[in-house]
């Protein structure tokens, strides 16, 4: 079988294929003749976790004109496909010819992938042009099917075009249960010496300030996108109403990467603000006896897990490095990172204080700065 046979899709299948290949999944199949256990699906993608565990995305799609009952009947049909595949993989291996991402980031290799009882399967129904209703969402949640509406699909493709493989880790995190650990310079956690600061007099959590290379933060980072917060099912059995970030702006990324970082002299002096889900593991290093409660030095441990730390402010500064002509800057120029462990509404209040209460600087004012 040739690559053209495996990635020979047309129409909406080609759009699904484009998303999966832009995300650099390890192996991809997407064509109109794809069958798994005799059941037609639109695409399959493989992410191989550290240690060799296989995570498969099995994708079907719905478009206008399919069935008199609309997306509801397609969901029931896809659930039957899901049931058959799950039953069969408990009995035997399922072998499928797929295109593998080669060393030059081109899908130019054909290999056989195997779905086994140890594989993690994620079933996704993509709606090309029809929004689903609450009843469809509840059915999908009950049967562990992820629904991607037209908006989420379009935004995921836009994100993948801008940040490549990092969009894959965002998608996998939203599906949950995927082992996203990685090994970089060994298995040990990243470790940083940080200032541990109480900025609120004990009313909120601590803030940790430390330098971090963009190359490493990019691997750990993800962003809550508010465009997908209300109606999308991320696979966790919940809806994310507390998302706040807008989609990345391509022009802004280009300006940062090409014009600011492209000079070779550009570096950011302001913080990237990130959010830890919980207080990081830490070793106390040194505290001043007088200011023990407010500031001190600690060594924090950050596990090597893709898409494990939220970016609250500074997403364009961070992802702008991906557009720099000299990619070595990601390994040379540290960012100043401020990590918070939010208590109560602290995360929302921090975001609002940055984006609503601060006064924007107009460029013309820069000419009055002393040289």
Using alpha carbons only, what angle is made at residue 215 by residues 211 and 220, rounded to the nearest 5 degrees?
85
pLDDT tens digits for 204-261? 678 899 999 999 999 999 887 654 443 444 444 444 434 555 788 999 999 999 888 8
d(Cα 85, Cα 80) in Å, to the nearest integer?
9
CATH architecture type of domain 3-175: 3-Layer(aba) Sandwich (3.40)
**Could you report the per-residue pLDDT of 135-184, keeping only the tens digit for each?**
998 999 999 999 998 888 988 999 999 999 999 998 998 887 777 888 77
β-strands 35-36, 107-115 pairing: unpaired
Residue ranges per structural domain of the chain:
3-175, 190-368
CA distance 212 to 191: 10
Q: How far apart are CA 319 and CA 75, in angstroms?
A: 36
Whether residue 304 is predicted with pLDDT greater than 70 in this model: the reply is yes
Residue of higher predicted confidence among 78 and 225: 78
Measure the CA–CA gap between 45 and 58, rounded to whole angstroms. Answer: 7
User: Strand 335-340 and strand 272-275: pairing?
Assistant: parallel
Q: Give the model confidence (pLDDT) of 305-314 as tens digits.
A: 999 999 988 8
Tally of helices (H runs) and strands (E runs) in the chain: 10, 17
d(CA 262, CA 157): 26
Q: Read off the tokens for 60.
A: 């079907």
> H or E segment at 23?
none
């Amino acid at each position: 079988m040739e690559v053209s046979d495996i990635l020979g899709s047309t129409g909406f299948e080609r759009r699904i294929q484009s998303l999966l290949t832009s995300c650099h999944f390890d192996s991809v199949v997407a064509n109109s003749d794809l069958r798994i256990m005799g059941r037609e699906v639109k695409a399959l993608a493989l992410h191989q976790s550290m240690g060799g565990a296989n995570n498969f995305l099995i994708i079907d799609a719905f478009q206008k004109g399919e069935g008199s009952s609309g997306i509801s009947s397609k969901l029931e049909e896809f659930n039957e496909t899901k049931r058959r595949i799950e039953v069969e993989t408990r009995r035997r291996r399922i072998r499928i010819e797929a295109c593998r991402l080669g060393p030059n980031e081109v899908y130019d290799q054909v290999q056989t992938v195997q779905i086994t009882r140890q594989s993690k399967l994620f079933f996704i129904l993509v709606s090309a042009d029809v929004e689903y209703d609450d009843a469809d969402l509840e059915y999908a949640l009950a049967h562990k099917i992820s629904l991607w509406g037209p908006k989420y699909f379009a935004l995921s493709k836009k994100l993948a075009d801008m940040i490549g493989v990092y969009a894959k880790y965002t998608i996998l995190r939203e599906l949950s249960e995927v082992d996203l650990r990685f090994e970089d310079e060994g298995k040990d956690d990243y470790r940083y010496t940080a200032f541990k600061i109480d900025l609120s007099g004990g009313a909120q959590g601590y803030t940790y300030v430390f330098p971090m290379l963009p190359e490493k933060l990019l691997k750990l980072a993800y962003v809550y996108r508010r465009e997908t917060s209300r109606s999308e099912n991320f696979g966790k059995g919940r809806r994310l109403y507390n998302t706040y970030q807008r989609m990345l702006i391509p022009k802004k990324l280009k300006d940062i990467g090409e014009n600011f970082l492209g000079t070779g002299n550009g570096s950011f002096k302001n913080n990237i603000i990130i959010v830890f889900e919980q207080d990081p593991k830490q070793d106390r290093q040194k505290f001043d006896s007088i200011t023990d409660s407010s500031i001190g030095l600690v060594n924090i441990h950050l596990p090597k897990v893709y898409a494990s730390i939220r970016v609250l402010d500074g997403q364009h500064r961070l992802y702008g490095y991906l557009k720099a002509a000299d990619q070595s800057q990601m390994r040379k120029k540290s960012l100043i990172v401020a990590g918070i462990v939010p208590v109560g509404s602290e995360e929302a209040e921090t975001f609002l204080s940055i984006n609503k209460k601060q006064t924007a600087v107009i460029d013309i004012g820069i000419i009055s700065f002393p040289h």
